[in-house]
A and B are shown apart, each in its own frame.
Chain A
Amino acid sequence: MTIEVKNISKSYGASPVLRNIDLKINSGELVSLLGPSGSGKTTLLRIIAGIEEADRGSGAVVFDGEDVSDVDLGRRGIGFVFQSYALFKHLSVFENIAFGLRAKPRRNRPTEAQIKEKVQSLLELIQLSSFAQRYPSQLSGGQRQRVALARALAVEPRVLLLDEPFGALDATVRRELRSWLRHLHDTIHVTTIFVTHDQEEALEVSDRVAVMGNGRIEQFASPQEVYENPANEFVFKFLGNYNVFHGRSGAGALVRPHDIAIFRTSDGDRPDAAQTAVVAHIGFGGPVVKIELESDDKNRVDVELTAQAYHDLKLQRGEKVWFAARRAHSDFPPEYAI
């Protein structure tokens, strides 16, 4: 199902949360809304779901060409997964997943046997078949989140909306669930929107990423596109760490730590623009080694090397080296241009 958000605005009192949002999501796509807290991403998701209403007089939410702005939350055919899981504490895993099926009006409510079959197949999908009779309190965070997903999928929603689905989980479980979600989406192909503030998560999982800041969509493109060709300085800065180099003209150049190369004094292929610096700190981060350089003008320069490159260089703390930017972003249009 395609989802269109047309010129949606939302404000709480006098403070605007969303400003004239336009967004078009293709059928079967997995899109993430990525932004810092306060960027309006969750509000946008809740407006698409029908939990919150857009400002009166602002635009519309359109599902498959049909304006659903005035359709109730329960009739939009959405599956919503909350950051808090919002599992029904007093119901078993089985009953949680069956809730939406049992709530259907009598004439299209499935039979008890059909409900059982459906719940069983969902339990298999989330790999919790043996947990049907457990209560939410007896599950781990990751298991709870999977039950919440199964519960939302049980009613066969036209669109799946996930609000920071992995926000409350620890890093390992997060990574596992992330790739599990990607695989799940490849199997069931339901249009999915998920909100996150985690850049890595958004870039890894999504077909397209909508980077949000200050109530606007700053860029909506594929993960590779937003990372390599950020539309503006905000997107660049939000997507990762960076160094700022001030040239003689006064304009700053922004360089990612992994776009800086380090050379030994003896290296013949060192570019002419290379500057000298001292290795101030070496931080091991597994596959990536984080080097902190102190340049001659006493500025800190962050560099990220692959473990292999680090080993080849055999860097020592306090050593004098040369560094140069392989790639710099400096041609952003000025911010807040009208």
Chain B
Amino acid sequence: MAGAITARAPISIGSKRAVATESVLARRVLITITVVFLTIFVLVPLINVFNQAFSKGFEGYWSVFFPPQPPDDATLTFSQKRRLAEGAAQAARTWSSIGLTVAVAAVVLPLNIIFGLAAAWATTKFNFRGRALLTALIDLPFSVSPVVAGLVFVLLLGRNGILGPWATQLVWPDPFSLHWVGFENGVWPLAFGRTHTGVIFTPLAIVLATIFVTFPFVARSLTPLMENQGTDEELAALSLGASGWRTFFKITLPNVKWALLYGVILCLARAFGEFGAVSVVSGHIDVNDTMPLRIEKLWNEYNNQAAFTVASVLAFVAVITLVAKSVVEWKAARDAERTN
């Protein structure tokens, strides 16, 4: 029997069986190294985030978002009043940072989906001069430091920038101030309640910087799949008389839905967490704080527990992202298996 097994061994090299024939020692060492590494660099810091966040108990955690309100009939000393007012102001800034982070993501994500689909489509389904260059450019944000990216925007759109004279005068409406005004002013019943002037040191700059660091994600997760699928299904749909839109929504989109969702998850995670590029263009003004910027400010104010509390929200989002990513990967693999 033993002889038969040894004789088989060389045949199975390169297959899955080869893994099992590695020495037990090597396997244990490799697994140990991986586990130790992940513990030191991922697990311990993650636990520490939550540990620090809850260092003043659950109440301390809660009060970062909802500062304690004294009963109406309480008589307070001046310093107590001051501390309450301070806590309320801090909580308001934290909420503002959460709101801005979500708002920026809400603006960036649809743009990235459109851009990612267009870029992946262009680079995989058409053959044209400069295609390789375009593919390389899509990857550029991965290799450029986010701080440099932020600086580029400042140098381009800031007061002394090339587009400065135009950008500093630019008046743009706040899309989240859109509200119903009725038909008194004509057929268009919606109006903007707020406008901003300028680009750099406004939320618009944060949107631009976030787009720069996140746009490769959707395109990159779609490209390999679209390349693999080729154009036959689209051509078949077109030959059956379907319009371009119908072909896109009924054929192309369903074929790439999991990859698209995967890209969206990665894009969202990065949009929530981006610090460098956003920090440069925000001008360190409180109203321009996103969550990572808010964490830095709390930390610099020696408010460690509050800083870790906000960080724990981001960490929680990261964990959810990880789970969602795994689910999508599993679904995509199952679909791929089913369609082959």
Q: Give the complex CA separation of A151 and B235 in angstroms.
A: 13
Q: Which of B224-261 contact A (CB under 8 A)?
A: 230, 232-233, 235-243, 246, 250-251, 254-255
B34 interface hit (Cβ, 8 Å):
no
Query: For residue B230, which residues in chain A have a CB less than 8 angstroms away from its CB?
Result: 84
26 contacts between A and B (CB under 8 A): A49-B239, A51-B239, A73-B235, A73-B239, A74-B240, A74-B241, A80-B239, A84-B232, A86-B232, A86-B236, A87-B233, A88-B237, A88-B251, A89-B255, A90-B254, A99-B237, A99-B240, A100-B240, A103-B242, A104-B241, A137-B338, A148-B236, A151-B240, A152-B239, A152-B240, A155-B241
B340 interface hit (Cβ, 8 Å):
yes
In the complex, given contacts A89-B233, A154-B240, what are 18 additional A-B residue pairs having Cβ atoms less than 8 angstroms apart?
A51-B235, A74-B239, A74-B241, A74-B243, A75-B241, A82-B232, A86-B233, A88-B250, A90-B254, A90-B255, A99-B240, A100-B240, A103-B237, A135-B338, A135-B339, A137-B338, A137-B339, A151-B236
Query: For residue A79, which residues in chain B have a CB less than 8 angstroms away from its CB?
Result: 239
Q: Give the complex CA separation of A136 and B255 in angstroms.
A: 14
Give A95's nearest chain B residue, CB to CB. Answer: B250
In whole Å, how far is A64's beta carbon from the nearest beta carbon of chain B? 18
Q: Give the complex CA separation of A236 and B238 in angstroms.
A: 39
In whole Å, how far is A138's beta carbon from the nearest beta carbon of chain B? 9
Taking Cβ atoms with an 8 Å cutoff, the residues of A that contact B are: 49, 51, 72-75, 78-80, 82, 84, 86-90, 99-100, 103-104, 135-137, 148, 151-152, 154-155
Query: For residue B232, which residues in chain A have a CB less than 8 angstroms away from its CB?
Result: 82, 84, 86
Q: Give the complex CA separation of A151 and B232 in angstroms.
A: 14
Query: For residue A74, which residues in chain B have a CB less than 8 angstroms away from its CB?
Result: 238-243
Query: For residue A75, which residues in chain B have a CB less than 8 angstroms away from its CB?
Result: 241
Query: For residue A103, which residues in chain B have a CB less than 8 angstroms away from its CB?
Result: 237, 240-243, 246
Q: Give the complex CA separation of A144 and B239 in angstroms.
A: 18
Query: For residue A72, which residues in chain B have a CB less than 8 angstroms away from its CB?
Result: 238
Residue contact B233 to A88, C-beta cutoff 8 Å: yes
Q: Give the complex CA separation of A88 and B251 in angstroms.
A: 7
Residue contact B238 to A73, C-beta cutoff 8 Å: yes
Query: For residue A136, which residues in chain B have a CB less than 8 angstroms away from its CB?
Result: 339
Residue contact A80 to B235, C-beta cutoff 8 Å: yes
In whole Å, how far is B237's beta carbon from the nearest beta carbon of chain A? 7
Q: Give the complex CA separation of A148 and B242 in angstroms.
A: 16
Q: Give the complex CA separation of A80 and B231 in angstroms.
A: 13
In whole Å, how far is B227's beta carbon from the nearest beta carbon of chain A? 15
Interface residues on B, range: 20 to 34
Give A75's nearest chain B residue, CB to CB. Answer: B241
Taking Cβ atoms with an 8 Å cutoff, the residues of B that contact A are: 230, 232-233, 235-243, 246, 250-251, 254-255, 338-340
Q: Give the complex CA separation of A49 and B232 in angstroms.
A: 13
Which are the 9 A-B pairs with shortest beta-carbon distances?
A100-B240, A86-B232, A103-B242, A89-B339, A86-B236, A80-B239, A74-B241, A90-B254, A82-B232
Query: For residue A148, which residues in chain B have a CB less than 8 angstroms away from its CB?
Result: 236
Give B230's nearest chain A residue, CB to CB. Answer: A84
Query: For residue A104, which residues in chain B have a CB less than 8 angstroms away from its CB?
Result: 241
In whole Å, how far is B247's beta carbon from the nearest beta carbon of chain A? 9
Query: For residue B339, which residues in chain A have a CB less than 8 angstroms away from its CB?
Result: 89-90, 135-137
Give A100's nearest chain B residue, CB to CB. Answer: B240
Query: For residue B239, which residues in chain A have a CB less than 8 angstroms away from its CB?
Result: 49, 51, 73-74, 78-80, 152
Pick from A89, A137, A155: contact of B240, CB below 8 A.
A155
Q: Give the complex CA separation of A326 and B237 in angstroms.
A: 53
Q: Give the complex CA separation of A80 and B340 in angstroms.
A: 22
Residue contact B241 to A80, C-beta cutoff 8 Å: no
Query: For residue B236, which residues in chain A have a CB less than 8 angstroms away from its CB?
Result: 80, 82, 86-88, 148, 151
Residue contact A99 to B242, C-beta cutoff 8 Å: yes
Q: Give the complex CA separation of A271 and B230 in angstroms.
A: 60
Give A50's nearest chain B residue, CB to CB. Answer: B239
Give A136's nearest chain B residue, CB to CB. Answer: B339
Residue of A73, A88, A90 with most chain B CB atoms under a 10 A cut-off:
A90
Query: For residue B242, which residues in chain A have a CB less than 8 angstroms away from its CB?
Result: 74, 99-100, 103
Give B242's nearest chain A residue, CB to CB. Answer: A103
Query: For residue A90, which residues in chain B have a CB less than 8 angstroms away from its CB?
Result: 254-255, 339
In whole Å, how far is B253's beta carbon from the nearest beta carbon of chain A? 10
Residue contact B340 to A137, C-beta cutoff 8 Å: yes
Give A138's nearest chain B residue, CB to CB. Answer: B338
Query: For residue B340, which residues in chain A have a CB less than 8 angstroms away from its CB?
Result: 137
Q: Give the complex CA separation of A29 and B232 in angstroms.
A: 26
Q: Give the complex CA separation of A135 and B340 in angstroms.
A: 11
Q: Give the complex CA separation of A89 and B251 in angstroms.
A: 9
In whole Å, how far is B141's beta carbon from the nearest beta carbon of chain A? 32
Query: For residue B254, which residues in chain A have a CB less than 8 angstroms away from its CB?
Result: 90
Give B236's nearest chain A residue, CB to CB. Answer: A86
Q: Give the complex CA separation of A78 and B238 in angstroms.
A: 11
Q: Give the complex CA separation of A82 and B237 in angstroms.
A: 12
Residue contact A100 to B233, C-beta cutoff 8 Å: no
Q: Give the complex CA separation of A152 and B238 in angstroms.
A: 11
